[in-house]
């Protein structure tokens, strides 16, 4: 019974879906893939914590649209890497949206085996363009190998760590897009102690206090330029 209820979009969730798709419109093919993904997530969420339970009534705006908004920042990107994909945000959503794009692929990097199993199932039921890597971030740079157009992360780590994770990809020509919350200014201040970056900030289209940090260049700062008191 509980499982059957999980498959049926409740009225608030249907209304949230309409709001979300008005913010970030998609083709009917992509909408059908996203419907299958959301149904699977609600089914697995009963046993596995994929998103904070308090955010479930706003799944489409808080998670799906939050992910979809990245596409317009790099419309020509085909090869994506999503670090710490968890329940699939933004990676699976991007892969659903890119499923009709020839040559597109999203690498989903997740070290938790249960979440990686969910990601594999999500890719299967949606026929999305994605490859799941059950691995730590430090181990996948060589494995992914091919030229990457965009590296993403959401709710993974403080910005100064994300910049370090993304650096090998950005050094090879990728753009980095990090979904961040209201503390973005403080995180940027911390990150610039260790990295030379010129961030571009975009306020989230989904409202709230969210920001997208866009980076095209990352260089490690000369360690001698950091005063002793600044060192982590």
Ligand X SMILES: C[S@@+](CC[C@H](N)C(=O)[O-])C[C@H]1O[C@@H](n2cnc3c(N)ncnc32)[C@H](O)[C@@H]1O
Of all residues in the shown chain, the one whose CB is closest to ligand X is 86
Instruction: Identify each DSSP E strand in the chain by its residue range.
Output: 79-83, 105-110, 130-134, 150-154, 175-180, 195-197, 200-203, 211-215, 218-220
Cβ-based nearer residue to ligand X, 82 or 214: 82
Residues that bind ligand X (CB under 6 A): 51, 84-87, 89, 109-112, 115, 136-137, 154-156
Instruction: State whether the Cα torsion 9-118-55-75 is positive or negative.
Output: negative
Cβ-based nearer residue to ligand X, 135 or 224: 135
Supply the minimum distance, in Å, between the C-beta of residue 106 and ligand X.
12
DSSP per position, 44-62: HHTTS--S-GGGGGGIIII
Supply the minimum distance, in Å, between the C-beta of residue 86 and ligand X.
2
Cβ-based nearer residue to ligand X, 132 or 170: 132
Supply the minimum distance, in Å, between the C-beta of residue 166 and ligand X.
13
The structure tokens 């992910």 sit at 67
Spatial neighbors of 19 by CB under 8 A, at least 6 apart, are 60, 61
Supply the minimum distance, in Å, between the C-beta of residue 156 and ligand X.
5
Which residues partner with 213 through β-bridges?
A: 178, 201
Which residues partner with 218 through β-bridges?
A: 197
89 labelled binding-site residue: yes
Cβ-based nearer residue to ligand X, 104 or 109: 109
Cβ-based nearer residue to ligand X, 27 or 138: 138
Q: How far apart are CA 227 and CA 223, in angstroms?
A: 9
Supply the minimum distance, in Å, between the C-beta of residue 140 and ligand X.
8
Instruction: State whether the Cα torsion 3-124-155-58 is positive or negative.
Output: negative
154 labelled binding-site residue: yes
> Per the annotation, where are the binding residues for S-adenosyl-L-methionine?
84, 89, 154
Binding residues: 84, 89, 154
């Amino acid at each position: 019974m509980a499982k059957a209820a999980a498959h049926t979009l409740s009225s608030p969730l249907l209304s949230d879906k309409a709001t979300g798709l008005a913010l970030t419109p998609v083709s009917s093919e992509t909408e059908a893939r996203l419907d299958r993904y959301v149904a699977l997530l609600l089914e697995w969420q009963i046993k596995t914590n994929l998103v904070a339970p308090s955010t479930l009534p706003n799944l489409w705006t808080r998670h799906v649209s939050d992910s979809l908004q990245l596409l317009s920042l790099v419309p020509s990107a085909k090869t994506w890497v999503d670090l710490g994909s968890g329940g699939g945000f933004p990676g699976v959503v991007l892969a659903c949206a890119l499923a009709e794009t020839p040559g597109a692929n999203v690498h989903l990097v997740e070290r938790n085996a249960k979440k990686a199993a969910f990601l594999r199932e999500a890719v299967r039921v949606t026929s999305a363009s994605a490859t799941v890597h059950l691995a730590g971030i430090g181990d996948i740079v060589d494995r992914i190998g091919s030229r990457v157009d965009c590296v993403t992360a959401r709710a993974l780590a403080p910005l100064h760590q994300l910049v370090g994770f993304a650096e090998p990809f950005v050094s090879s020509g990728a753009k980095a897009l990090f979904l961040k919350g209201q503390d973005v200014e403080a995180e940027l201040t911390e990150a610039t102690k260790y990295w030379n970056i010129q961030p571009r900030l975009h306020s989230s289209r989904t409202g709230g206090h969210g920001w997208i940090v866009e980076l095209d260049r990352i260089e490690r700062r000369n360690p001698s330029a950091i005063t002793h008191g600044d060192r982590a």
